Structure 1
Amino acid sequence: MRRIGIPHPRLPLPEPGQADDPQAFLAWLAGAIPMVAHLGIRDMTREGESLAWELALEPNLNDKGTGFGGALTAQTTLLGWCWTTLWLRERGLARDVVVADATQRFLAPVTGDYRMTCTPEAPEGTESLASQLESRGRGRIALVQQLWCGGTLCLEARGDYAVLKAD
């Protein structure tokens, strides 16, 4: 059980050259952030610089029977946090990540199960983050999240994620 003010233990880093097991990462995440167990995340995949979640709509319904904006906003923020955390872990870095700024644009109602993707906003985003970490010990990256319900883009979000200095 989580306690206020007590950090959750970090997930051990994967072996060098290995990526995190998606299901193990999601299980750890649900323990670290209790609300994750209630977001309807069914699957997580990583391809190149894209991280994607498949989600169920039912736990995220609003009073109108469509996606609740607050839940969708939380998911976009968390997906960006996961993208940054997994990127660091692939490089053998266990670092704290925080969202520094986030915006969302709701484009269409979410009426069924959906897919969220997260990618760097700029093509040079990861190179810039790596350079910042090397030179200053901390860095920031801008990420874009998109929510797709079938072929319809329902939500676009953008967030700046800060990687803090090592303890």
Structure 2
Amino acid sequence: MNDDRAYLEQLLHQDIPLTQALGLGVSSWDGSELRLSLPLAANLNHKSSMFGGSLYCGAVLAGWGWLHLRLREAGVTDGHIVIQQGQIDYREPVLGDALAVCAAPPAAQWDKFLALYQRRGLARLSLHSRILVDGAEAVRFSGQYVLHR
């Protein structure tokens, strides 16, 4: 596991203990896309599919983790990330192990977010996550994340 992946997984398990119960792992990080693993066995509901709350947590945490790692790469370490708003669309039941994936927003949006934070100490960024099962999209999530000093 590369340093960024190990760092984020340890941070999530230490600061958000629920991630351990979810069996959440950091599958990959390439500087623009984060992938978190969610095993079905740890997140089963009464219908033998993945619990909606687990899917929501995975989607939120994919965005949070993406933002945390990108800020760390940009040298921004004085802020706190919170989710302000989220909307989820459960398109298909999740019947197997899943990946929560968050990709980079457009560069102009990212640059504006960083500049605003540096100027005001407060900025908002919309990020989109997907839950994939065997490469197929089962869940879509849009979240507004706030970074504040």
2:123 counterpart of 1:136: no
Q: How far apart, in 2, do the equivalents of 1:21 and 1:85 lie?
A: 11
- The AA in structure 1 aligned to 2:88 is Q
Query: Could you tell me which residue of structure 2 aligns to residue 116 of structure 1?
Result: 100
- The AA in structure 2 aligned to 1:74 is C
8 Å CA contact 2:36–2:58 kept in 1: the answer is: no
Query: Could you tell me which residue of structure 2 aligns to residue 21 of structure 1?
Result: 4
Query: Could you tell me which residue of structure 1 aligns to residue 88 of structure 2?
Result: 104
Q: Which runs of 5+ in 1 are unaligned?
A: 1-18
Query: Could you tell me which residue of structure 1 aligns to residue 58 of structure 2?
Result: 75
TM-score between both structures, scaled by the size of structure 1: 0.80
State the 1:48 CA deviation: 3.7
TM-score between both structures, scaled by the size of structure 2: 0.89
State the 1:63 CA deviation: 0.5
Matches within 5 A, 1:37-56: 37-56=20-39
Aligned residues: 147
State the 1:29 CA deviation: 1.7
Aligned residues: CA RMSD: 1.7
> Once superposed, which parts of structure 1, at least 4 consecutive aligned residues long, lie more than 3 Å away?
120-123
Identity of aligned residues (%): 28
Using CA pairs below 8 Å that are at least 6 residues apart, which structure has the higher relative contact order? 2
Q: How far apart, in 2, do the equivalents of 1:112 and 1:106 lie?
A: 15
- The AA in structure 1 aligned to 2:114 is A
- Which has the larger Rg? 1
Q: Which runs of 5+ in 2 are unaligned?
A: none
Q: How far apart, in 2, do the equivalents of 1:26 and 1:143 lie?
A: 20
Q: How far apart, in 1, do the equivalents of 2:72 and 2:31 lie?
A: 15
Query: Could you tell me which residue of structure 2 aligns to residue 16 of structure 1?
Result: none
